[in-house]
């Protein structure tokens, strides 16, 4: 079928009108991209994208990811025209309380929004992750008779996205791993927010992307035929190269007072909207969409649904011939976790002396067997993070089914790519690095939490116990800072059995990300706590590790490698001492009031906490009457045990603190 230029030009004009009206009404938001890229939207949503507005999460849809999330009205306008559940009424409420049209696109708020974007560059990383997951899905599920996955991933990025380092990390990864299903569209409109782009960039972006291993093309963005041709060339190239299309556009096109200038960027154009609408031939009626445009998109949707029905036939044939694969895919989509996952992990010998990272590596193997959709990457630190799935190979161009991802030294890119994998919805994404470098990845972790993606972060070397590498590598404030991210569970297990519980808790949690903070150094098995309790206690976040044997008069709280000191101190502090293991504050805080009261009865206010990190967060449990043994400074370069001793992270300091309580 030929592309209908007349209908799509009309739609582009009306999409411009929707953006102008919404931005004018809310007196906020960005006009530049929605106006400048209207023809791109028309070609993508009116012709090219293979999707199903009635089933926004259809597993074999093409993706469109708006990395330049500030241009959200672009997305909302095209979703409305395409027949997604985004009404004109929703658009009228652009940027208003509890609307489906928030300032920046949010995954859970709006049907058809694929990723939460806004922090520039993030969408590029997400798109790379989706493209990788799509390649993996092809490898895991397609057969020679049935191709149920053959997706293309389109991503629209601006100067800001490509200036941010995260897009460089992710793009280099995409080039290296040959993600030729990725089509990155660079909206080169020569402006950024403050000024003309040339005031801050002079690189040759096209050459940069060629150097990453992309095929590149350069066209005029408002020429629909040129854009269509470029996309068709990009789609047909199965040559192991991701595709980069530079589109030259005029930001704010349609409002001459601001067109092509930095003023086009935000809502400055709103005051010229009335005249601009007239010039575009739009009637006075606000949020106008013509009958012709509605009819065009209704017809186009019929065609999309017919394509979808054809795919469904392939899908049914595939299911019939491949019942095991079909079951595995159903489970993956439902994020099912075997009920007996914990039992699948063998008990650790009671005399083991292992770092929790090493225990984690052992725990991961049976889990990976039981969860074939789990993937496990590392930012060039498998040797230290120990999370390599031994039964599977590396993900490579030649082996896209490999479940181990070598991300290179790209923590931020890794975490944005993991987000993309989770958005794709089939593989359980996990990735590893040193915990202290979570700072390099924090924006992506925060977005995973905001979008409630079930990522698993296996972050090791979790305290000053790192030792000789010194303060640059020793987390001090990092664990607590991560605990402050809403919806992120941070689990810091104390010994190998708690580590088993922590991994299972992470896999079982599907409504948000979980970060496992594991030690570099060996820890003893805490055999005085029943092994079952150690494993299962983690699920509740905090539990009574040692029950007092006389009336309760002191509670010691701890987690991770310091729980051993709490237990040792309790021996000296008398029969009325209780020890609470608190591997995950977020889980504990979600428990019912009765359980929390059972573990930490209010009547006992003599409390001490110990953790080799900043102390502040523990005051929520020890209160004004309690004491916290922690660190008030950065660490030191020396053997880990000596650093711990130097800072008083030991049982004796717990004993002294407890005795000093009134
Ligand atoms: C990480 C990040 N830093 C800063 C911003 C604020 N911001 C939003 S848009 C923008 C300028 C983007 O310029 P460009 O990508 O060229 O977008 P365009 O001007 O084409 O709309 C800035 C700095 C942001 N959203 N994210």
DSSP 3-state assignment of 432?
strand
Mutation pick for ligand 1 pocket among 31, 32, 120 (CB with most ligand atoms within 8 Å)? 120
Q: What is the token pair recorded at 343? A: 């039992």
Please return the burial class of 594, using the count of CB atoms within 10 Å of its CB with bins 0-12, 13-18 and 19+.
Answer: exposed
What pLDDT sits at residue 267? 81
d(CA 541, CA 457): 17
Confidence of residue 195 (pLDDT cuts 50, 70, 90): confident
Q: What is the token pair recorded at 201? A: 């960039």
In the predicted model, what is the mean pLDDT of residues 157-163?
Answer: 98
Nearest ligand 1 atom, CA 189: 20
Q: Residue 456's beta-bridge partner residues?
A: 430, 514
Q: What is the token pair recorded at 271? A: 């005051």
Residue 390 CB neighbours (<10 A): 11
Residue (of 165, 151, 170, 191) closest to 244 by Cα position? 170
Give residue 444 CA to ligand 1 midpoint distance, Å: 17
In the predicted model, what is the mean pLDDT of residues 194-203?
Answer: 91
In the predicted model, what is the mean pLDDT of residues 120-146?
Answer: 98
Task: List Cα–Cα distances, 396 to 175, 179, 264, 525, in angstroms.
Answer: 12, 10, 43, 38
What pLDDT sits at residue 238? 85
What pLDDT sits at residue 648? 98
Residue (of 612, 646, 447) closest to 517 by Cα position? 612
* Mean pLDDT of the residues in the chain: 97
Residue appearing with tokens 């990453």: 212
Give residue 121 CA to ligand 1 midpoint distance, Å: 9
Contact 134, 177 (CB under 8 A): no
Give residue 194 CA to ligand 1 midpoint distance, Å: 9
Q: What is the token pair recorded at 120? A: 């520039």
Give residues with Cβ within 8 angstroms of 162, minimum separation 6.
Answer: 121, 124, 168, 186, 205
In the predicted model, what is the mean pLDDT of residues 493-500?
Answer: 98
In the predicted model, what is the mean pLDDT of residues 576-580?
Answer: 98
Residue (of 590, 542, 544, 563) closest to 496 by Cα position? 563
Nearest ligand 1 atom, CA 33: 21
In the predicted model, what is the mean pLDDT of residues 377-387?
Answer: 97
Nearest ligand 1 atom, CA 193: 11
Q: Residue 457's beta-bridge partner residues?
A: 431, 515
Nearest ligand 1 atom, CA 119: 26
Task: List Cα–Cα distances, 138 to 150, 227, 501, 542, 662, in angstroms.
Answer: 7, 27, 32, 41, 65
What pLDDT sits at residue 546? 98
Mutation pick for ligand 1 pocket among 192, 247, 248 (CB with most ligand atoms within 8 Å)? 192
Give residues with Cβ within 8 angstroms of 299, minimum separation 6.
Answer: none
Q: Residue 558's beta-bridge partner residues?
A: 581, 610
Residue (of 65, 106, 71, 94) closest to 449 by Cα position? 106
What pLDDT sits at residue 51? 98
What pLDDT sits at residue 266? 78
In the predicted model, what is the mean pLDDT of residues 322-341?
Answer: 98
Does the pLDDT value for residue 309 go beyond 80? yes
Mutation pick for ligand 1 pocket among 34, 193, 255 (CB with most ligand atoms within 8 Å)? 193
Kindly report, residue by residue over 66-104, the tens digit of the pLDDT.
999 999 999 999 999 999 999 999 999 999 999 999 999
Does the pLDDT value for residue 1 go beyond 90? no
Q: Whose CA is nearest to atom 25 of ligand 1?
A: 119
Nearest ligand 1 atom, CA 68: 15
Kindly report, residue by residue over 622-632, the tens digit of the pLDDT.
999 999 999 99
**What spatial distance separates the first Cα and last Cα of the chain, rounded to whole Å?**
83
DSSP 3-state assignment of 14?
helix
pTM of the model as a whole: 0.98
Give residue 350 CA to ligand 1 midpoint distance, Å: 55
Catalytic residue among 164, 226, 259, 411: 411
**Annotated catalytic residue 169:** no
Give residues with Cβ within 8 angstroms of 265, minimum separation 6.
Answer: 30, 31, 32, 191, 192, 193, 251, 252
Give residue 441 CA to ligand 1 midpoint distance, Å: 19
Does the pLDDT value for residue 519 go beyond 90? yes
Give residue 63 CA to ligand 1 midpoint distance, Å: 22
Q: Whose CA is nearest to atom 19 of ligand 1?
A: 192
Confidence of residue 265 (pLDDT cuts 50, 70, 90): confident
DSSP 3-state assignment of 355?
strand
List residues near ligand 1 (CB under 6 A).
30, 32-33, 68, 70-71, 118-120, 158-161, 164, 187, 189, 191-193, 251, 265
Task: List Cα–Cα distances, 431 to 41, 131, 359, 407, 419, in angstroms.
Answer: 34, 17, 16, 9, 11
What pLDDT sits at residue 460? 98
Give residue 269 CA to ligand 1 midpoint distance, Å: 17
């Amino acid at each position: 079928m030929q592309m209908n230029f007349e209908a799509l030009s009309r739609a582009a004009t009306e999409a411009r009108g929707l953006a102008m009206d919404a931005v004018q009404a809310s007196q906020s938001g960005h006009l530049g991209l929605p106006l400048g890229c209207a023809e791109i939207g028309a070609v993508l949503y009116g012709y090219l994208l293979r999707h199903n507005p009635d089933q926004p999460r259809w597993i074999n849809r093409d993706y469109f990811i708006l990395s330049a999330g500030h241009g959200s009205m672009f997305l909302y306008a095209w979703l409305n025209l395409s027949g997604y559940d985004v009404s004109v009424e929703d658009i009228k409420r652009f940027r208003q309380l509890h609307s489906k049209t928030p300032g920046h696109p949010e995954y859970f708020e709006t049907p058809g929004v694929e990723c939460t974007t806004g922090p520039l560059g993030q969408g590029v990383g997400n798109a790379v992750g989706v493209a990788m997951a799509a390649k993996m899905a092809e490898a895991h599920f397609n057969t020679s008779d049935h191709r149920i996955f053959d997706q293309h991933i389109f991503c629209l990025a601006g100067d800001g996205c490509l200036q941010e380092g995260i897009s460089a990390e992710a793009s280099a990864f995409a080039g290296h791993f040959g993600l030729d299903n990725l089509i990155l569209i660079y909206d080169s409109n020569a402006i950024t927010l403050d000024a003309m782009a040339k005031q801050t960039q002079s690189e040759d972006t096209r050459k940069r992307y060629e150097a990453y291993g992309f095929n590149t093309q350069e066209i005029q963005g408002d020429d629909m035929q040129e854009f269509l041709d470029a996309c068709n060339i990009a789609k047909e190239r199965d040559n192991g190269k991701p595709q980069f299309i530079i589109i030259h556009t005029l930001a704010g096109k349609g409002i001459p007072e601001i067109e092509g200038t930095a003023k086009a960027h935000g809502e400055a154009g709103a005051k010229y909207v009335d005249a601009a609408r007239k010039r575009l031939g739009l009637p006075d009626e606000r949020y106008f969409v013509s009958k012709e445009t509605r009819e065009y998109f209704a017809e186009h949707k019929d065609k999309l649904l017919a394509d979808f029905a054809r795919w469904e036939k392939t899908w049914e044939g595939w299911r019939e011939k491949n019942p095991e694969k079909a079951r595995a895919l159903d489970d993956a989509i439902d994020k099912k976790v075997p009920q007996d996952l914990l039992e699948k992990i063998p008990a650790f010998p009671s005399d083991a002396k292992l770092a929790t990272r090493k225990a984690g590596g052992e725990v991961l193997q049976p889990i990976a067997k039981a969860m074939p959709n789990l993937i496990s990457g590392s930012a060039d630190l498998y040797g230290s993070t120990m999370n390599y799935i031994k039964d599977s190979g590396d993900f490579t161009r030649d082996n896209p089914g490999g479940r181990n991802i070598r991300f290179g030294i790209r923590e931020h890119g890794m975490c944005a790519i993991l987000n993309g994998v989770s958005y794709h919805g089939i593989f359980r994404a996990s990735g590893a690095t040193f915990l202290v470098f979570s700072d390099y990845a924090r924006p992506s972790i925060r977005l995973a939490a905001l979008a409630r993606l079930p990522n698993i972060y296996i972050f090791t070397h979790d305290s000053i116990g790192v030792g000789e590498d010194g303060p640059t590598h020793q987390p001090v404030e990092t664990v607590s800072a991560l605990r402050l991210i809403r919806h992120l569970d941070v689990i810091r297990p104390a010994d190998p059995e708690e580590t088993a519980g922590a991994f299972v808790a992470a896999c079982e949690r599907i409504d948000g990300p979980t970060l496992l903070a594991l030690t570099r150094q060996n820890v003893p098995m805490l055999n005085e706590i029943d092994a079952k309790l150690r494993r299962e206690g983690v699920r509740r976040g905090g539990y009574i590790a040692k029950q007092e044997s006389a009336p309760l008069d002191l509670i010691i709280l701890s987690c991770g490698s310091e729980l051993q000191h709490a237990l040792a101190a309790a021996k000296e502090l008398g029969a009325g001492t209780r020890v609470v293991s608190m591997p995950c504050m977020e889980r504990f805080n979600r428990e019912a009031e009765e359980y929390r009261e059972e573990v930490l009865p209010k009547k006992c206010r003599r409390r001490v906490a110990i953790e080799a990190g900043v102390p502040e967060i523990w005051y929520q449990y020890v209160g004004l009457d309690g004491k916290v043994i922690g660190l008030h400074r950065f660490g030191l370069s020396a053997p880990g045990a000596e650093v711990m001793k130097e800072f008083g992270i030991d049982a004796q300091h717990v004993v002294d603190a407890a005795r000093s309580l009134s």
